[in-house]
Amino acid sequence: MGTHLQLVVPCYNETHRFRPDEFLQLVRSRSDIALLFVDDGSTDETSVLLADILVRGDGQVSVLTLPENVGKARAVQSGVLAAFEKQPEFVGYWDADLSTPLTALTDFLQVLEAHPEIDIVMGARVRLLGRQINRNAVRHYCGRAFATAVSLALGVGVYDTQCGAKVFRANGLVRQAFNAPFRSKWIFDVEILDRYMAYVAATGKASAESRICELPLRTWTDVPGSKLSPGHTVRAIWDLAVIWRRSARRRGCAQTQNSERRT
């Protein structure tokens, strides 16, 4: 069976959070899934752990080592573009701490396989009855405020852009969204959506919103060791403001063009 999914896992100083056996269990149970770990200039023993899983991965594991720390956005971009070169049907990225368990991948792939019109499936941390979403309360409420701002910035209703579990159909529209470097190191997920929506709009096809699916996760755990700081939050707000202005300008131009066509 050929590779169905290339899953990118960005890593930076993950020695105390990395669980190699769970990644190995995935590839041993799914011969159609391959893992691409991106070592983002780690300074601890992460490279040793990745070298070990590479040997034990039976050809389904690869490692891309970046010479210096460039941030999660660049690490994900580098990994996804490298994954595209392997010509899979789907590509994705997943947080190395496995806050979203790898077992959830089945749900993501089922959505893409059952709905060929959908290009993007994003995990959403929605705390519903029967779901185990264990998230720090302060982060949860800050996340709700941020999601509201993102919805206003993009002009679409979105619940959770920042969950680190996403799978994409490996087509030209998605690849375009990753081609250029991201402005933000921490809210690049918002940039991906903004770019993708712009590219879909340019094709004149169905609205981008109908091609994106937010999938409520069954389980999500807030793993200690986040590398976000208050300074990153301030920068993220500034980056969102820039995306907001760019998106609003694009929507305004589109409305003007539509009005001109009607007249």
Phi (first) and psi of residue 165, to 5 degrees:
-135, 110
- Name the pLDDT band for 254 (thresholds 50, 70, 90): low
Give the chain's mean pLDDT: 90
Phi (first) and psi of residue 232, to 5 degrees:
-65, -35
At 67-91, the pLDDT tens digits run 999 999 999 999 999 999 999 999 9
Mean pLDDT of 187-203: 92
Residues of the chain with pLDDT > 90, as a percent, come to 70
At 89-118, the pLDDT tens digits run 999 999 999 999 999 999 999 999 999 999
Amino acid in position 170 = A
- Name the pLDDT band for 141 (thresholds 50, 70, 90): confident
CATH code assigned to 5-256: 3.90.550.10
At 206-220, the pLDDT tens digits run 788 999 999 999 999
